[in-house]
A and B are shown apart, each in its own frame.
Chain A
Amino acid sequence: MLFNSLAFLVFLPTVFLLYWFLLKENKGRNVLLLLASYLFYGWWDWRFLSLIIFSSLVDYLVGKRMAGEDNEQRRKRLLFISIFVNLGLLGFFKYFNFFIDSFINSFDFLGMNLNISTLYIILPVGISFYTFQTMSYTIDLYKQEIKPCNDPLAFFTFVAFFPQLVAGPIERASHLLPQFYKKRNFDYTQAVSGLRLILWGMFKKIVIADRLAEYVNIIYSDPAAHTGLPVILGTIFFAFQIYCDFSGYSDIAIGTARLFGFDLMTNFRTPYFSKTIKEFWSRWHISLSTWFRDYVYIPLGGNRASTSRWITNLMITFVVSGFWHGANWTFVIWGAIHGIVNGIEALNSKFQLLKFRLPTILQVMLTFTIVCFAWIFFRANSFGDAILIIQNAVDFSNGLSNVKIISAFDLAILLLLVGFLISTELISQSDNTVEKLLKNQTVRYISYITLILLIVFFGVFQNKQDFIYFQF
Chain B
Amino acid sequence: MRKFAKKTIVFFILVLVIAKGIDVIITHYFLQSGYYKPLWLNKIKNQNLDYVLLGNSRVYSTIDVGEIEKSTDLKGLNLGLDGSNFASQLLMLKIFHKNNNHTQKVLLQVDPTVYTAEDNDRFAAYNFLPLLEKKYVFEHYKALGNEYYLYKYIPLLKYGKFNFKWSIENLVKLKLNRWNPPYDQYGSYLHDDKYQGDSLQHFENTNIPEPNLYLQKIINYCKVNDIELILFTAPYIDYDIENEAVIDGFNNTIRGYNLPYYTYHNLLRKDYDLFYDNNHININGVRIFNKKIESILLKENTHL
Question: Interface on A for B, CB 8 Å cutoff?
Answer: 20, 186, 188, 191-192, 195, 407, 409-410, 445, 448-449, 452-453, 455-459, 461-462
Segment 168-223 of B: residues with Cβ below 8 Å from A:
168-169, 172
Closest residue on chain A to residue B156 by CB atoms: A456
Q: Which residues of A contact B159 (CB under 8 A)?
A: 456-457
B163 within 8 A of A: yes
Annotate B1-33 by CB proximity to A: 1 below 8 A, 0 otherwise.
101100110010011001100100000000000
Q: Which residues of A contact B161 (CB under 8 A)?
A: 461-462
Q: Which residues of A contact B19 (CB under 8 A)?
A: 453, 456
20 contacts between A and B (CB under 8 A): A186-B1, A188-B4, A192-B4, A195-B8, A409-B169, A410-B169, A449-B14, A449-B15, A449-B18, A452-B15, A453-B19, A455-B160, A457-B160, A457-B163, A457-B167, A457-B168, A459-B160, A459-B163, A461-B162, A461-B163
Alpha-carbon separation in the docked complex, A459 to B164 (Å): 9
A186 lies within 8 A of B168 (CB): no
Q: DSSP majority for the A interface? A: helix
B168 lies within 8 A of A458 (CB): yes
Q: Which residues of B contact A20 (CB under 8 A)?
A: 1
A407 lies within 8 A of B160 (CB): no
Measured CB to CB, the closest approach of chain A to B151, in angstroms, equals: 12
B169 lies within 8 A of A445 (CB): no
Q: Which residues of A contact B162 (CB under 8 A)?
A: 461-462
A456 lies within 8 A of B14 (CB): no
A191 lies within 8 A of B4 (CB): yes
Alpha-carbon separation in the docked complex, A195 to B4 (Å): 11
Q: Which residues of B contact A445 (CB under 8 A)?
A: 11, 14
Q: Which residues of A contact B164 (CB under 8 A)?
A: 462
Alpha-carbon separation in the docked complex, A461 to B161 (Å): 6
Alpha-carbon separation in the docked complex, A154 to B11 (Å): 34
Alpha-carbon separation in the docked complex, A455 to B19 (Å): 12
Alpha-carbon separation in the docked complex, A46 to B160 (Å): 31
**What are the 4 closest A-B residue pairs judged by CB atoms, nearest first?**
A456-B160, A409-B169, A186-B1, A461-B161
Alpha-carbon separation in the docked complex, A410 to B172 (Å): 13
Alpha-carbon separation in the docked complex, A186 to B1 (Å): 6
Closest residue on chain A to residue B173 by CB atoms: A409
A458 lies within 8 A of B4 (CB): no
Alpha-carbon separation in the docked complex, A322 to B289 (Å): 61
A445, A457, A462 — most chain B CB neighbours (10 Å): A457
Closest residue on chain B to residue A189 by CB atoms: B4
Annotate B140-176 by CB proximity to A: 1 below 8 A, 0 otherwise.
0000000000000000100111111001110010000
A456 lies within 8 A of B163 (CB): yes
Alpha-carbon separation in the docked complex, A453 to B22 (Å): 10
Q: Which residues of B contact A462 (CB under 8 A)?
A: 161-162, 164
Closest residue on chain A to residue B150 by CB atoms: A6
Closest residue on chain B to residue A190 by CB atoms: B4
Q: When A and B form their complex, what is the total count of cross-chain residue pairs whose Cβ atoms lie within 8 Å? A: 45
Q: Which residues of B contact A448 (CB under 8 A)?
A: 11
Measured CB to CB, the closest approach of chain A to B199, in angstroms, equals: 20
Q: Which residues of B contact A407 (CB under 8 A)?
A: 169
A188 lies within 8 A of B3 (CB): yes
- Selected from B4, B156, B163, B169, the residue in CB contact (under 8 A) with A186 is B4
Alpha-carbon separation in the docked complex, A29 to B11 (Å): 27
Q: Which residues of B contact A458 (CB under 8 A)?
A: 163, 168
Alpha-carbon separation in the docked complex, A69 to B19 (Å): 62
Measured CB to CB, the closest approach of chain A to B296, in angstroms, equals: 38
Segment 98-139 of B: residues with Cβ below 8 Å from A:
none
Alpha-carbon separation in the docked complex, A23 to B11 (Å): 26
Q: Which residues of A contact B167 (CB under 8 A)?
A: 457
Measured CB to CB, the closest approach of chain B to A220, in angstroms, equals: 21
Query: Apart from A449-B18, A461-B160, what are 5 other A-B pairs with CB-CB below 8 Å?
Result: A20-B1, A186-B4, A192-B4, A410-B169, A461-B162
Alpha-carbon separation in the docked complex, A456 to B18 (Å): 13
Q: Which residues of B contact A191 (CB under 8 A)?
A: 4
Alpha-carbon separation in the docked complex, A461 to B163 (Å): 8
Measured CB to CB, the closest approach of chain B to A116, in angstroms, equals: 37
Alpha-carbon separation in the docked complex, A448 to B14 (Å): 11
Measured CB to CB, the closest approach of chain B to A265, in angstroms, equals: 24
Alpha-carbon separation in the docked complex, A188 to B1 (Å): 7
Q: Which residues of A contact B8 (CB under 8 A)?
A: 195
Segment 80-102 of B: residues with Cβ below 8 Å from A:
none
Measured CB to CB, the closest approach of chain A to B209, in angstroms, equals: 29
Closest residue on chain A to residue B160 by CB atoms: A456
Measured CB to CB, the closest approach of chain A to B222, in angstroms, equals: 34
Closest residue on chain A to residue B163 by CB atoms: A457
Alpha-carbon separation in the docked complex, A409 to B4 (Å): 40
Q: Which residues of B contact A453 (CB under 8 A)?
A: 19, 22
Q: Which residues of B contact A459 (CB under 8 A)?
A: 160, 163
Alpha-carbon separation in the docked complex, A62 to B14 (Å): 52
Closest residue on chain B to residue A20 by CB atoms: B1
Q: Which residues of B contact A449 (CB under 8 A)?
A: 14-15, 18
Alpha-carbon separation in the docked complex, A448 to B18 (Å): 12
Alpha-carbon separation in the docked complex, A459 to B163 (Å): 8
Q: Which residues of A contact B1 (CB under 8 A)?
A: 20, 186, 188
Q: Which residues of B contact A192 (CB under 8 A)?
A: 4, 7
Closest residue on chain B to residue A13 by CB atoms: B8
Alpha-carbon separation in the docked complex, A407 to B170 (Å): 12
Alpha-carbon separation in the docked complex, A85 to B268 (Å): 67
Alpha-carbon separation in the docked complex, A458 to B167 (Å): 8
Closest residue on chain B to residue A462 by CB atoms: B164
Annotate B261-273 by CB proximity to A: 1 below 8 A, 0 otherwise.
0000000000000
Alpha-carbon separation in the docked complex, A457 to B11 (Å): 20
Alpha-carbon separation in the docked complex, A462 to B160 (Å): 10
Measured CB to CB, the closest approach of chain B to A21, in angstroms, equals: 8
B4, B161, B167 — most chain A CB neighbours (10 Å): B4
Measured CB to CB, the closest approach of chain A to B159, in angstroms, equals: 7
Measured CB to CB, the closest approach of chain A to B130, in angstroms, equals: 15
Alpha-carbon separation in the docked complex, A189 to B93 (Å): 56
Measured CB to CB, the closest approach of chain A to B12, in angstroms, equals: 10
Q: Which residues of B contact A195 (CB under 8 A)?
A: 8
Alpha-carbon separation in the docked complex, A448 to B15 (Å): 9
Measured CB to CB, the closest approach of chain A to B150, in angstroms, equals: 9
Measured CB to CB, the closest approach of chain B to A335, in angstroms, equals: 36
Q: Which residues of B contact A409 (CB under 8 A)?
A: 169, 172
Closest residue on chain B to residue A410 by CB atoms: B169
Alpha-carbon separation in the docked complex, A462 to B167 (Å): 13
Alpha-carbon separation in the docked complex, A410 to B19 (Å): 24
Alpha-carbon separation in the docked complex, A410 to B169 (Å): 8
Alpha-carbon separation in the docked complex, A465 to B18 (Å): 28
Measured CB to CB, the closest approach of chain B to A417, in angstroms, equals: 13
Closest residue on chain B to residue A192 by CB atoms: B4
Closest residue on chain A to residue B1 by CB atoms: A186
Closest residue on chain A to residue B172 by CB atoms: A409
Measured CB to CB, the closest approach of chain A to B298, in angstroms, equals: 44
Q: Which residues of A contact B14 (CB under 8 A)?
A: 445, 449
